[in-house]
Amino acid sequence: MITAIPMNEDRIANHFTKAENFSFINEQGEEVSRHANPAHSSHCAGKQNLLDLLIQQHAERIVVRNIGMQMLAKLLAHQLTVFQTNCGRRNTVELANPEAAGLVPLTEADQGRPSLNHEVKEKEGGCRHKRVSISKQGRCCQQQTDGHEAHGRHHHKDGHNAHNRGHGRCGHGTSRGSHCCRTTPV
């Protein structure tokens, strides 16, 4: 059974998605591989890349110190077993043992930490990326999911242009499908 551990240098990272890299260990606590965290310095597509990495490395267990509710929900939906430790300096042999003292199983998404920005992002129409990361298709990170609004140049119902008004959002707080309140493309 492979266990994935978010790491900063030689200790468990304080937060799952902000770890510098991920260590993958076997049942004996031996590191079989270590990979840079694709979500560490990337935009929202990096979190999906992180999930893909965990699956590619055949991780079945994850040991974390802190994790957000949204990411915990995604891990649980992928049938990964998640444990929380209260200590960042455990040895890998101890972490490889599912019965290790101090590991708390996380079985519900609400056991994760609430995101301070999640509700704000949802109300404002998406992930709030800067224009340099916007693709030609008008999506910030080329994801066609909820919260990834079209960021192209457009005029609004009241005639103003939102091209430079705060990361591509119209500021109205409403959306229609994959476009904010766009009515007339430029």
CATH of the domain at 106: 3.30.420.130
Tell me the average pLDDT across 159-183.
Answer: 39
Dihedral, 144, 148, 152, 154 alpha carbons, nearest 10: 120
Residue-wise pLDDT for 110-169, tens only, equals: 999 987 765 666 666 555 554 444 444 444 554 444 444 433 333 333 444 333 333 333
pLDDT of 19 over the 60 cut: yes
- Give Rg (Cα) of the chain: 20
Q: What is the pLDDT at residue 166?
A: 37
**154 - beta bridge partners?**
185
Do 9 and 22 belong to one domain? Answer: yes
- Are 101 and 161 part of one and the same domain? no
**Do 100 and 20 share a structural domain?**
yes
Quote the tokens at residue 146.
Answer: 């909820």
Q: Across the strands, what pairs with 80? A: none
Q: How far apart are CA 44 and CA 163, in angstroms?
A: 21
pTM above threshold 0.85 = no
Is residue 4's pLDDT more than 60?
Answer: yes
Enclosing H/E stretch for 31? strand 31-36
State the pLDDT at residue 31. Answer: 96
Q: How far is CA 82 from the centre of its chain?
A: 15
Q: Is the pLDDT of residue 107 over 80?
A: yes
Tell me the residue range of the domain where 135 lies: 116-186
Mean pLDDT of 36-50: 85
Q: Are residues 27 and 74 in the same domain?
A: yes
